[in-house]
Amino acid sequence: MKDHRDKIERRRDDAVHGGSIVDPKIHPRRVWDLRSNRVLPFHVISRARVLKNRNHMPDNLWTVSHSWVDAREREGVMTPINRWQWPVPMPRATSLEHVRIELLNLGAEYAWLDALCLRQEGGADDSIRLEEWKLDVPTIGNVYQAQPKGRPCITYFNGLGLPFDASQTVLESDRHWFNRVWTVQETLESWLPGGLVPTPFPEGPRFFYRLQELVSSASSSVRGPDLLEAMRSRSCSSELDRIAGLAYLLGCKTLPLYDPSISLETAWMRLIKHLSPGPRRYIFLQYESDVPFAPWVSWAGFLAYPPLLPPPGRMRDAKNLELVDPLQIHTNEPGKYYQVTYATVPCYVISPPDDVFRSRGPHVIQLHFYDRTEPTTVPISTPGLHGCVVPNVQYRFLCIEGTWVDFWVVVEVVGERDVQDEKALEVIKWGVVCMDHDRSKEFTELGLGSSGTRVVYLASEEALSRSQHVDEYMEAFNKARESRRAGHMPDCRHHSHNHP
């Protein structure tokens, strides 16, 4: 037993490196033994089951998913179940014993319930909770999603231990299970309803249709943009919870530690550093930056405005945005990113886009390439564009290919530097132009650029100090901001084919 316990504890200690969780598949710290009615360390039950993989959960470990009722409707219950270590938040209308009996009747032996197994506020030493939450909160999703699939998840849609109610008024409450941030990662095909009562509910078909939609979406392997939208629209007690939930759901190989002391914008930039290539590219391309000279949309902008361009489908190449310094992932500083891609030679925009380019429909931009024996003017047709693209500024266009459409990132080149012993252009992102894949291919075949170009994106203060066209940028940026505020922007969320 001691060797097994030490092995589990070593893995937990090794799961954190610097400011990151490098083992997101970590097991939970505690479980609820329903028969003896006490909270036990995870190693007690895992020793008794042969796990096919070190990342698997014991097949007899069930989970409980529930929506938290309003603070005025719950109380902290001190209990010997968790050795009186913290008050367990419970709805006043039920009890832990009621929940335990229902779980036992359903066939459960062990269960993971956040109120009991995740240290809560109100204990004798809150510093212990804060330390545990750094690892335990970001990895909650793994307790539910880990193999083996099919482990039952008892779901209380109206609050822990409370009777099931499918009435329309209840469903529309921001406290309902359907509408909470954390329950996105707790949506499983193996759900079982908690709180069922022998009372007919005429709203049942509508309820179960909506639930089936959620389950199907959650079980899809192609779900990046859908998850972003789901997390944008749901309610939560803390915006940090929304960001922490996104990190696990988007399949990050590493996770940022949960730190309630940092700002939302810092937490958002930390999340972007941990994202896998698909979601990171999607945010970079689809969302217009609402901060001057920033390559990324802010957290406030992400919540306030929908993506502007049609989804690309699956990306056709591996032109990923990677951190220049991989060790930046462990800090609270914004990351600096580089990319290897096809880049045009320098050009100018002759016919600048105006507000009409913020609506869907084909539009034409005239690009003038002068760095050739014969200067060339090329019209490109685009169904959409965002950012700041103006005349009299020398740009290069960087191609990122998708299945349905390609994206051309419009950049100003301001210098060079070495990245991994290779020369790289230092660039400032001004905007993104969407182009039909066939039209994009024709444009590329004109021979106005070259592949294998390495670029580094500058941001914020560094970009501001290096740009040669600050006044032009700010004029275009302020115009775009006014357009956003006036609501003159397309919503491209529902025009997907295949997501990254």
The predicted structure's pLDDT at residue 354: 58
495 in a domain, yes or no?
Answer: no
Asked whether residue 30 falls in the same domain as residue 97, the answer is yes
Q: Which of 244, 261, 278 is the last residue of a domain?
A: 261
Q: What total of structural domains would you count in the chain? A: 2
Whether 404 shows a pLDDT value over 50: the answer reads yes
281 in a domain, yes or no?
Answer: no
Element (H, E) at 266: helix 264-274
Q: Which of 215-219, 242-246, 491-495 has the lowest mean pLDDT?
A: 491-495
500 in a domain, yes or no?
Answer: no
Instruction: Label residue 499 by pLDDT band (50, 70, 90).
Output: very low
Q: Spell out a b/e string for 157-169, using b for 16 or more CB atoms within 10 Å of the CB, else e.
A: bbbbbbebbbeee
Alpha helices in 93-198 (DSSP H): 96-106, 114-117, 126-136, 140-145, 168-171
Asked whether residue 209 falls in the same domain as residue 321, the answer is no
Edge-to-edge strand ranges of the sheet holding 61-66: 38-41, 30-33, 110-112, 61-66, 153-156, 191-193
Q: For tokens 């099919």, name the residue.
A: 150
283 in a domain, yes or no?
Answer: no
For residues 254-268, give the mean pLDDT.
96
| Residue range(s) defining the domain that contains residue 97 | 2-261
Asked whether residue 169 falls in the same domain as residue 41, the answer is yes
For residues 88-105, give the mean pLDDT.
98
Contact in structure between 361 and 414 (CB atoms under 8 Å): no
497 in a domain, yes or no?
Answer: no
Asked whether residue 320 falls in the same domain as residue 217, the answer is no
Q: Which of 242, 261, 280 is the last residue of a domain?
A: 261
The Cα 393–Cα 144 span in angstroms is 52
Instruction: Label residue 487 by pLDDT band (50, 70, 90).
Output: low
Asked whether residue 317 falls in the same domain as residue 193, the answer is no
Q: Which of 93-102, 218-227, 327-336, 385-394 has the lowest mean pLDDT?
A: 218-227
324 in a domain, yes or no?
Answer: yes
408 in a domain, yes or no?
Answer: yes
499 in a domain, yes or no?
Answer: no
Q: What is the DSSP code string of 429-481?
A: EEEEEEEEHHHHHHHHTT--EEEEEEEEE--HHHHHHH-S-HHHHHHHHHHHH
For residues 356-376, give the mean pLDDT.
70
Give me the sign of the Cα torsion angle 236, 240, 241, 245.
Answer: positive
How buried is 11 (Cβ within 10 angstroms: 0-12 exposed, 13-18 middle, 19+ buried)?
A: middle
Q: Which of 261, 281, 308 is the last residue of a domain?
A: 261
Percentage of residues of the chain with pLDDT beyond 90: 67
Contact in structure between 434 and 385 (CB atoms under 8 Å): yes
Q: How many CB atoms lie within 10 A of CB 412?
A: 23
Asked whether residue 52 falls in the same domain as residue 143, the answer is yes
Q: What is the dihedral of CA 338, 405, 225, 496, to 10 degrees?
A: 180
Find out whether the peptide bond into 148 is cis, omega within 30 degrees of 0: yes
Whether 316 shows a pLDDT value over 90: the answer reads no
The Cα 57–Cα 339 span in angstroms is 38
Asked whether residue 463 falls in the same domain as residue 404, the answer is yes
Asked whether residue 163 falls in the same domain as residue 310, the answer is no
Instruction: Label residue 374 by pLDDT band (50, 70, 90).
Output: confident
Asked whether residue 255 falls in the same domain as residue 299, the answer is no
How buried is 328 (Cβ within 10 angstroms: 0-12 exposed, 13-18 middle, 19+ buried)?
A: middle
Asked whether residue 253 falls in the same domain as residue 297, the answer is no
The Cα 107–Cα 87 span in angstroms is 27
For residues 34-48, give the mean pLDDT.
90
The Cα 266–Cα 405 span in angstroms is 32
- 447: left (phi > 0), else alpha (psi -120 to 50), else beta? left
Asked whether residue 236 falls in the same domain as residue 348, the answer is no
Whether 243 shows a pLDDT value over 80: the answer reads yes
Whether 222 shows a pLDDT value over 50: the answer reads no
Asked whether residue 174 falls in the same domain as residue 82, the answer is yes
418-477: pLDDT as tens digits: 998 999 999 999 999 999 888 899 999 999 999 999 999 999 899 999 999 999 999 999
The predicted structure's pLDDT at residue 370: 80
Whether 413 shows a pLDDT value over 90: the answer reads yes
Q: Which of 308, 320, 379 is nearest to 350 (CA)?
A: 379
Whether 230 shows a pLDDT value over 90: the answer reads no
Contact in structure between 458 and 429 (CB atoms under 8 Å): no
Q: Tell me the pTM.
A: 0.90
